[in-house]
A and B are shown apart, each in its own frame.
Chain A
Amino acid sequence: MTDVGLYRAFQQPVTPTLQVLDEEGRLVWSSKTYWANATVLTEALNIMETGGR
């Protein structure tokens, strides 16, 4: 456990925020697009598939 607060570690997410953590826990992608958007979701899923590379 660290003394780093959750919100600071996750870059002060507002709501809604969509983020991708790779399999090792690195924050590799983030979007604060307010309304659901298929393009943004596709981008997130692509990042998940490629592991953020």
Chain B
Amino acid sequence: MNGKGLVACLVVLTMLAGCTAAPMESNEGTEQAVVLTPVPTHLSFSAPTFDRAVDGGANLDLRSSFDGPVLLLWVASGCSGCHDWTVMLKEELEAGNLSNTTNIVAVHRYPEFESTESVAQRYGENNSTHFMPWPLMLPPPSTTVIDAKAAA
């Protein structure tokens, strides 16, 4: 290739720069928004328990198991704050400052990271360091909620 040919080739390549590929399609307006199902206003769920006497069965449905409001305590076995709340609630119960009819329910959080055995050792057994004398629900991570209003 002589000098003129090389220059001509470079000129042509320069002119083509940026035009050698089909224009990128804009994603604007074409991305599909992730539409989440609205959260029901009236919530319930069911989950297994340790089936202790205080659990009210091997599987508990939150809304249909209790009359009146429910105090939920989300816990993990390795959570010092959870131990602290457990102690306070038990002390208030024993002192009579909490009615026996107050619905307290603990729910295990982070089952992906903590075994149910560790929860049982911490909260579930009579000789546990922080035994819970109220139902303890053990929902797997895939648990979905029940629309309590629709179910009623």
Most-contacted residue by chain A among B42, B72, B75 (CB, 10 A): B72
Q: In the complex, what residues of A have CB within 8 A of residue B89's CB?
A: 36, 41
Q: In the complex, what residues of B have CB within 8 A of residue A23's CB?
A: 67-69
CB proximity to A under 8 Å, residues B66-94 = 67-76, 79, 81-82, 84-85, 87-89, 92
In the bound assembly, the distance between CA atoms of A15 and B67 in angstroms comes to 25
Contact status B42-A25, CB under 8 Å: yes
Q: Does B143 contact A (CB under 8 A)?
A: yes
Q: In the complex, what residues of A have CB within 8 A of residue B68's CB?
A: 23, 48
CB distance from A7 to the nearest CB of B (A): 8
Contact status B98-A38, CB under 8 Å: no
Contact status A13-B41, CB under 8 Å: no
CB distance from A27 to the nearest CB of B (A): 6
In the bound assembly, the distance between CA atoms of A35 and B81 in angstroms comes to 5
Most-contacted residue by chain B among A4, A17, A21 (CB, 10 A): A21
Q: Mark A40-52, 1 if CB is under 8 A from B, else 0.
A: 0100110110011
Q: Report B's interface with A, CB cutoff 8 A.
A: 36-45, 62-63, 67-76, 79, 81-82, 84-85, 87-89, 92, 98, 102, 107, 109-110, 139, 142-149
User: What are some 9 contacts across the A-B interface (CB < 8 A)?
Assistant: A5-B142, A15-B74, A16-B75, A17-B72, A17-B73, A19-B72, A20-B69, A24-B42, A38-B88
Q: Report A's interface with B, CB cutoff 8 A.
A: 1-10, 13-28, 34-36, 38, 41, 44-45, 47-48, 51-52
